[in-house]
Structure 1
């Protein structure tokens, strides 16, 4: 049996065993030419955004995930049992279905997990056995992206065509720091459209969550914003036209919307209006920063309000919680090593350590669940506006890009305030034999 096929069978077996244990109603690295360039994000903010930062911090201060999470017991999660939508958000496309978990060679965590034993296996399971958003970008050629996505979908669904598949499309070229320095060439623009059409063909009728272009605020520094706007709108439109695909345009984070201006929701709405929000389900927050659910729900709700005023209707959003177990605003982030940038934050090595990164709330549709003990105001907003807490950030990777770093993953597994998944991680069926 081929490795991808065997991995798919493993996925189905893992889910079946974990679900049977519940009494509740939840690899080798992908080859890349180089890790994405580290963004040059702002370290200072204007007067207005500084006030916003202080307001978010004040309203989040009483919420300590380490205090509320450490007392929780493992429970069935969305990859094991479908979760219902809230009455306030009945059209949530992420609800009412199980989320697929990819267990195969395109994932940087799966192979180390299979090779691990004992306590290390327990910690890596907190990442490997949960649904994560796979990033696809220009390192996969136009002529290979369709087959690559098709294999990813098959493994993630493991025989269940109703399972949700997640992907982040990081395809614009140039991007991040380079986007500020030169325009996209005609060849790059043509290739972008071909690549996106091939992705759409591969997705077809698959239930799919797409995060469009992490680090989208780099759009502001592009010398060819008009051309890039057309490309983003094109990609968002053709993917959103698929019957079961929902696109969430990256909108930065609760502390990042536009270089030099921090987190002003109006700037986020400006960005989204330029890159195709009218075609999308909504937007995504915190793909590469370290802010928490409280700050992002507050911030995202203000963006929803701004978009509605502009005539875009009621948009929804998702929040990355993979790295928000200890929320930290960007100016306060401490890099993992001297001379590094904030993109590679140091990891928490104890549950009391601050200004560090560790795993946050597990992926879920039930963003206002009692388990998270969120403040009442935040829970009310989450029920209305947030489709899910989703793991599309990758803090266990060097610079959140490549390669996988075992010590980072172990540190976060040991320091997270939240329990691991409800599954027997030492079962024979998980040993990859």
Structure 2
């Protein structure tokens, strides 16, 4: 339906490079990060969600490119990590927000990852909170099915070191994965593509044997060029990975879902920063892997 993935001209690295043309790091950041197709994250900071999503998807559609969007506003967001906490105040508020999100896409093509970490965080939620969250995720999938028929939706399945494959398959099915196009892996993390495809294939084996279906999956390769050192919050020595593309060792797509150089929170080499803040020195070092 499109001629490739959309590159956001107003991403954090693009805006920084444009505002700092005399900085010795600007050209490398512009050429190796800002010029690459990446996802845009949407949450409370986006303001009027219908207007924000509609503008972004419209800009992509105008140049015949496929936008990748991440919905990140579920109540109790980042329950385990904490650095990106927040979200809509109530399930009703979330339903209204995600409905407006889907309606703004309409019939235009898009890829949407629904709520990173939302299934991995179950260990930090009560059974009542898990049931409530599953209801919100199933409701979100229904909204996209009904209001955005040309959108491929993905539930997030965490990463290979977080939740066992059989347990994650159970979480996915409970959240309505049968109605999703697929699931996403490694968002904002660093595990290699090979580690992720092994995990994704194991999840599908569990889905098949227990529930009778499988789903395609995508892998966030934005920061996995050097793999993981076991830390998830701004570890040093990481490197950008394979650029967004279809296929990849069993994955449906490899995508840059996290923006390289954006902080994971006040931790690691991003000490003193807020989650989502663009850090040019971190971005620059990530290009070269040091």
- With over 3 angstroms needed to count, the CA separation of the structure-2 counterparts of 1:407 and 1:185, relative to structure 1, is closer
- Residue in structure 2 matched with residue 409 of structure 1 by the alignment: 283
SS in 1 for 2:233: helix
TM-fit CA distance, 1:314 = 2.7
- Residue in structure 2 matched with residue 218 of structure 1 by the alignment: 121
5 Å-filtered alignment, 1:204-215, equals 204-215=106-117
Matched, 1:135 2:41: yes
- With over 3 angstroms needed to count, the CA separation of the structure-2 counterparts of 1:113 and 1:220, relative to structure 1, is same
Matched, 1:265 2:165: yes
- Residue in structure 2 matched with residue 50 of structure 1 by the alignment: none
Matched, 1:327 2:227: yes
Contact 2:79/2:125 (<8 A) preserved: no
- With over 3 angstroms needed to count, the CA separation of the structure-2 counterparts of 1:97 and 1:304, relative to structure 1, is farther
- Residue in structure 2 matched with residue 102 of structure 1 by the alignment: 8
Q: Deviations over 1:233-264 (max 9, x none)?
A: 1002221342210111110101112xxxxxx2
Structure exhibiting the larger radius of gyration computed from Cα positions: 1
Structural RMSD (CA):
2.4
Matched, 1:363 2:267: no
Matched, 1:197 2:99: yes
Unaligned runs of 5+ in 1: 1-92, 258-263, 334-341, 349-356, 368-378, 417-433
- Residue in structure 2 matched with residue 253 of structure 1 by the alignment: 159
How many residue pairs match? The answer is 272
**Whole-Å Cα distance in 1 between the matches of residues 66 and 3 of structure 2?**
7
- Residue in structure 1 matched with residue 235 of structure 2 by the alignment: 345
TM-fit CA distance, 1:145 = 0.4
Q: Deviations over 1:40-84 (max 9, x none)?
A: xxxxxxxxxxxxxxxxxxxxxxxxxxxxxxxxxxxxxxxxxxxxx
- Residue in structure 1 matched with residue 193 of structure 2 by the alignment: 293
TM-fit CA distance, 1:281 = 0.9
- Residue in structure 1 matched with residue 134 of structure 2 by the alignment: 229
- With over 3 angstroms needed to count, the CA separation of the structure-2 counterparts of 1:100 and 1:179, relative to structure 1, is closer
Matched, 1:302 2:202: yes
SS in 1 for 2:246: coil
SS in 2 for 1:308: helix
**Whole-Å Cα distance in 2 between the matches of residues 228 and 309 of structure 1?**
25
**Whole-Å Cα distance in 2 between the matches of residues 178 and 287 of structure 1?**
15
- With over 3 angstroms needed to count, the CA separation of the structure-2 counterparts of 1:280 and 1:214, relative to structure 1, is same
**Whole-Å Cα distance in 1 between the matches of residues 228 and 41 of structure 2?**
24
TM-fit CA distance, 1:265 = 0.6
SS in 2 for 1:283: strand
- Residue in structure 1 matched with residue 263 of structure 2 by the alignment: 398
- With over 3 angstroms needed to count, the CA separation of the structure-2 counterparts of 1:109 and 1:190, relative to structure 1, is same
**Whole-Å Cα distance in 2 between the matches of residues 283 and 178 of structure 1?**
20
**Whole-Å Cα distance in 2 between the matches of residues 295 and 398 of structure 1?**
23
Paired residue for 2:252, among 387, 391, 404? 387
- TM-score w.r.t. length of structure 2: 0.86
Contact 1:320/1:390 (<8 A) preserved: yes
TM-fit CA distance, 1:175 = 1.8
Contact 1:292/1:325 (<8 A) preserved: yes
Q: Deviations over 1:337-383 (max 9, x none)?
A: xxxxx41212x2xxxxxxxx11011111142xxxxxxxxxxx4xx1x
Higher relative contact order (CA 8 A, sep 6+): 1
Matched, 1:315 2:219: no
